[in-house]
Structure formats: C-alpha cells, structure tokens
Amino acid sequence: MKNNPHKDLTDKELFERFQQGDEYAFTVIYQRYQGCLYLHALKMLNDRDKAQDVIQELFTRFWHKRNDLVLTTSLSSYLYTAVRNKVLDEFAHEKVIAKYQQSLQEFMDKGEYVTDSWVRERELTAIIEKEIAALPPKMREVFELSRKGYLSYQAIAEKLDVSEHTVRKHITRAIKKLRSKFDLVTILISILLKLH
C-alpha cells in the first residue's frame, strides 16, 4: 500500500474511482476517515464496541451502495453525517428495545399468572374433553348427561331406559378411569409448574 498512487488523490477523485468499484480507492477512503469517524461515534456513544460497530456497518453499507450514492456535499461531510445518522438510529433502536422490554415486563408483572392459568385451564379442559370422548359410548353418554346435562341418576335412568344401578355403575367407572388419567396429568402439571 506504500506505493499506492491512490493515497495522493483528492476525495473527489477517490470517490469517482470508488464508485467504479475500485477497491484501492475504497481502502484509501477507509484509512483516511476511519479513525476520525470512530472518535466522532465514540464521543456520541461513549462505548468503544458500539462505536466500532457503527463504523464497520457504515463502511460496509458505503461499499455496497456505491453505485447509488450521490454526493451533494464533500466526502467528509457525507461520512460524518452518515455516522451521526447511524448513531441516532442506534439511540432510537435502543429506545424502542427499552420500551418493548418495559412493556413486556409490565405485561409479565400484571398478566403472567392470569395468562398462565388461563392457558393451563384451556389445556386441561382440552385434555379432559379428549379423555371423556375416549370413554366407551354408553359410559360417555351417561357421564355427559350427569356432568354436562346436570341430570339426576333417576332422570338419566328414565331417559336411557336403564336402571339407576346401571347409571351409578357407569358414572363410578367413568370417574375411576378419568381419575387414573388425571392423577398422571396432575403430577405432570406440578412438575411443569416447578420448572417455571
């Protein structure tokens, strides 16, 4: 790079060559401005890593957009303005993230348990419905008339033309089947709650 004739070119000449895809011209622009632009970004951000990221991103974008760039000011003014805009974008981005994190935290503080219990209740209801649907047809019919239709054993017996004893037997067996399933579900839910 010592013998590179590009280093003696003006910004205007460098920019013209850079726009034609001349990598040497880009390298000279980078070397010429990287240091002072970094200090400019650092002064605004007060964070070395962020300032370095801003400069890296700026020059990467600068290279990729070279064919579309139109300079209405000097190259130095363009680059300084680009750094300032990038830093302002960074501040805006951080504010958006902070606002999002705050609103998310507020939502979690206020609504986490309500939402969790609502979701779990829906999941549990779905599991119960599934298990009821898996009962033998007659047993399911008796169970649903009792638990969902709120009919007495006598009313169910009359409706299905069976004895009350048969109704009681179906209900007892249905509850036993469901309880064995839900003992396992209850254990799983308590384990999941402990994990959270």
**How many Å is the Cα radius of gyration of the chain?**
36
For the beta carbon of residue 190, count every other beta carbon within 10 angstroms.
Answer: 10
As a three-state string, the secondary structure of the chain is CCCCHHHHCCHHHHHHHHHCCCHHHHHHHHHHHHHHHHHHHHHHHCCHHHHHHHHHHHHHHHHHCCCCCCCCCCHHHHHHHHHHHHHHHHHHHHHHHHHHHHHHHHHHHHHHHHHHHHHHHHHHHHHHHHHHHCCCHHHHHHHHHHHCCCCCHHHHHHHHCCCHHHHHHHHHHHHHHHHHHHHHHHHHHHHHHHHC
Q: What pLDDT was estimated at residue 109? A: 58
Predicted model pTM: 0.47
Separation CA 38–CA 52 (nearest Å): 6
Tens-digit pLDDT string for the chain (196 aa): 455 667 788 889 999 999 898 888 899 999 999 999 999 898 888 889 888 989 998 999 899 998 888 888 899 989 999 998 888 887 776 665 566 556 555 655 555 555 555 566 676 677 777 777 888 899 889 888 887 777 888 888 998 999 988 988 888 888 777 766 665 555 555 544 444 4
pLDDT of residue 171: 81
pLDDT for the residue numbered 187? 53
| Tokens 């400019």, residue located | 40
Structure tokens at 135: 């009962």
Q: How far apart are CA 59 and CA 26, in angstroms?
A: 9
Domains of the chain, CATH where assigned: 5-98 (1.10.1740.10), 102-195 (1.10.10.10)
CA 184 to chain centre: 32
68-99 burial: b if 16+ Cβ within 10 Å, else e: eeeeeeebeebbbebbeebbeebeeeeeeeee
Question: Hey, how many other C-beta atoms are within 10 angstroms of the C-beta on 54?
Answer: 25
Q: Tens digit of pLDDT for each residue in 48-70?
A: 988 898 999 899 989 999 888 88
Chain center to CA of 15: 41
Express each pLDDT in 80-110 by its tens digit: 999 988 888 877 766 655 665 565 556 555 5
